[in-house]
Every structure is written in structure tokens, then in C-alpha cells.
Amino acid sequence: MTRKKFILPLLILCAALAAAILLCACSSGGQSQAPDAAPSATDAPTEPPTENPIQKQLAGMATDEKIGQLVVAGFEGYEVDETFASLITDGHIGGAILFSRNISSAQQLCALTNGVKETAGSGIPLLIGMDEEGGSVTRLPDDVLSMPGAYTLAQSGSTGSCYNGGMQIASQLKAFGLGTGFSPDLDIWSNPNNTVIGERAYGTDAQSVVKYGIAAMKGMRDGGAVPVVKHFPGHGDTDADSHYSLPVISKTKEELLSQELVPFREAIKQGVPAVMAGHLQCTQLDEEYPASLSKKIVQELLRDELGFDGVAFTDDLTMGAVAENYSLGKACVLAVNAGCDMLLVCHEYENASAALAALKEAVAAGEISMDRLDEAVTRILKMKADYNITSAPVEAPDVAALNARTQAFY
């Protein structure tokens, strides 16, 4: 009896101990618990890398859309017709250039540019431009007063007048929904027999063109229009008109660097976003191709040596200097491979369609590489973003107020 009394409490004690052990095991999941470790530096949250919006936009584009961005096309009439609408929506052209044939009045011009923008819709906006230098080269409607020409402004001896003149041209362009006037002209009027440039230039020597032409360029830039300096590498010392024939320049590279190229070099230093290559046969630089189609001049001289990385335009590829010597398709392919990014095809719908077809064929065949195509389109998209080129419509401007500001330059 005594022995039973001793065993019973012992059994109870063992059962209690077993229960306690089991309870501890359950609470710990059967494993020992280490204290929480302090987070290491590598565990700290990191922000994802910022995606380049231009590269993102480029990655979302089909090849045909990229090709279309290279072409700036002209068209007929005072409104967007079915054919030109197709070039915008199906051809994906990158820009439109207007001429007097497209413009009858201030109100009509505003309606036209809004029509181009509306047709583009949610697609990549077009760079809409026209030749607007002031003086003898103007496309503004008759009811809008144009600016004095470059040479006239420079004769005032005031860089401020040239800067403000450039800004006023930008204001005129922006008022009608345009993004560029394909100006200013940085040619040096060093040949008195040169009638195609003449008073479009800011001077007869490099120093004058740098002083006044660069001021005008800055005014346009600060006014929000894309300045496109021209006609690289210099059209001032010629006596032939590239609209009809190919001017020949026999100066050496050293001579060009000391004269014609001085204003362009300065424009590049000042961050000019766009340069237009002229149809000029510079025999000491390239015996075979004119500047607009020459890799030696556009890529090697303009880009590699002078350091330009903006958008390179060709002059109109339907001009006689090119059209008399090359098929349009061949010229387009040569221009892109030379380093030009946007090709002006100013006349005839058939020419714009032929340009697009030739570029598509060259890309498909590998004659124009995808790397070269992407390089050009990246530059174009960046320029459009930098200068806020959009498809937003504009309201008709107050023409009287616009003219009053222009009148102050006379």
C-alpha cells in the first residue's frame, strides 16, 4: 500500500514533465528560434532604374513607323486631302513642309496646321515647318507682316535686334502651330555673284555671321521653335543655284574650316539642335557625292570632327542639284547612310511615296542597318520632345498684335 502511494505521485510528476516538454516543442515548431537578424545594407529597398522615355517610345515602334519618321513631305492645297492624310496615318511621316501653295490667310493657315495635327491623332506628332527666314524668304500669309531679312537686321549692328528677330520669327511660327522655319541661314555672302543666298546671309565675312546669325539662332531656340542652320558646309561662295544645278566648291578643307565652317562650328558649340546639309559638291572633301549625300561630309566632318549629334536634315531632295544626277530613291538611301536623319521631299505625292518605298526596301535588304535607323529616329524623337512638338491644336492668333510686334523691327 505504501509502495503504491509512492508510485502514483511519481507517475503524475512524469506526466506533467512530458506535457511541459510537448508544449514547448509545439510552440517552437520543433526547432530552436534564433533572434531576428538586423537587415543588411543589401536588403534595403532600391528604386528601379529610370527608363529613358525616348528609348521606351522607340522600342514600341514598328519598323515602318521608324522609317516614316525620316521623311518630311510637302503636299498640295489649303487643307489635308485624302492622299496626304494617308501619308500621315499609313506612311507615318515625321514632318510636313508648307509652301505658298498651302497658305491663303492667317485663319486658313491655323486651320490647316490643326488639320495636320488632328490627322496625326495620338500618333507621333509631325514637325510642321516652312521656310521662314524673313525678308525675301517667307511663307507667311499676306495678312501677316514678315520680319526684315537677315542682312538688313545685321546692318543695325545690334546682336540684340538679331536675337529678338529670331525670337519674333519663332513667335510667328508657334502662333500658327508650326515647329520650325528651317532657318537661320549661316552661309557667308562672300561671293557677290551669289544670288541664291545674297541678303539671306547675316554678313559677308565669318565674324559677322557668327555675331549676328548665332544671336538669331538663340532667339529662335529661346522662342520655342527648332532652329535649323543651313546650308552646311556653306553655300555663300557659289554662283550656281542648287534649286536648278549642282554648285561646285573647290576650296580645301583648311580653307573651309577658316571661313565657311566657322559659323557652323560656333552653332554646334552653342547647342544647335538641327543642321541642314546643302546640295553642294565640295570636291576637296568628296569628289563623288554632294554634301547632303556624303558620308565624308555629314558623318565624318559634321558629326565626328565638329561634334554635332543633333538632327541632320537634307535640303529638298527634289531640287535640280540632286534630281538631275540621282534617282530619288537612291538619294534617300545615300542621305541616310551619310548621316542625315530627316529627308525633305517637298514636291509631288508620288515622290514622298517613292522615298518611303525606297527606304523600306533598303532597310529590309540591310542596306540601311537597324542601328542606323534607330540612331536617326532617336534623334528625331528627342528633338520633338525637347521642343514640345505636339498634336495639340492652336487657337487663331491675334494678327494685329503679332504684326505690331513685327513692325517694331522696321
pLDDT in tens, 314-349: 999 999 999 999 999 999 999 999 999 999 999 999
Asked if the structure places residue 11 within a domain, the reply is: no
Residue whose grid cell is 565657311: 260
**Higher pLDDT residue, 149 or 44?**
149
The predicted pLDDT at position 315 comes to 98
Asked if the structure places residue 48 within a domain, the reply is: no
- State mean pLDDT over 152-172: 97
CB 373 within 8 A of CB 342: no
Which amino acid is present at 193?
N
* Helix, strand, coil percent values for the chain (each to nearest 5): 50, 10, 45
Provide the CATH number for the domain around residue 274: 3.20.20.300
Asked if the structure places residue 110 within a domain, the reply is: yes
| Spatial CB neighbours of 288, under 8 Å, sequence gap ≥ 6 | 294
Task: Say which DSSP state 311 is in.
Answer: E
Residue 195: pLDDT band (50, 70, 90) is confident
The predicted pLDDT at position 38 comes to 46
Instruction: Give yes or no for residue 4 having a pLDDT over 60.
Output: no
- State mean pLDDT over 295-313: 98
Domain count, the chain: 1
Which amino acid is present at 61?
M
What residues are annotated to the active site? 243, 315
Mean pLDDT of the chain: 91
Asked if the structure places residue 53 within a domain, the reply is: no
The predicted pLDDT at position 46 comes to 67
The predicted pLDDT at position 398 comes to 97
Residue 9: pLDDT band (50, 70, 90) is very low
- State mean pLDDT over 189-197: 92
CB 152 within 8 A of CB 137: no
Asked if the structure places residue 4 within a domain, the reply is: no
Phi and psi angles of residue 193, each rounded to the nearest 5 degrees, phi first: -85, 0
Asked if the structure places residue 246 within a domain, the reply is: yes
- State mean pLDDT over 90-95: 98
Residue 19: pLDDT band (50, 70, 90) is very low
Instruction: Give yes or no for residue 143 having a pLDDT over 70.
Output: yes
Q: What predicted TM-score, i.e. pTM, was given to this entire model? A: 0.88
Residue 109: pLDDT band (50, 70, 90) is very high
Residue 45: pLDDT band (50, 70, 90) is low
The predicted pLDDT at position 43 comes to 54
CB 321 within 8 A of CB 344: no
The predicted pLDDT at position 313 comes to 98
- State mean pLDDT over 255-284: 98
Asked if the structure places residue 286 within a domain, the reply is: yes
Which amino acid is present at 173?
L
- State mean pLDDT over 47-68: 92
**Which H helix or E strand runs over 127?**
strand 127-130
Instruction: Give yes or no for residue 95 having a pLDDT over 80.
Output: yes
Instruction: Give yes or no for residue 209 having a pLDDT over 90.
Output: yes
- State mean pLDDT over 10-16: 43
Which residues make beta-bridge pairs with 71?
343
Instruction: Give yes or no for residue 33 having a pLDDT over 60.
Output: no
Instruction: Give yes or no for residue 21 having a pLDDT over 70.
Output: no
Which residue range(s) make up the domain with 292? 59-407
Asked if the structure places residue 3 within a domain, the reply is: no
The predicted pLDDT at position 23 comes to 40
- State mean pLDDT over 223-229: 98
* For the chain, percent of residues with pLDDT exceeding 70: 88
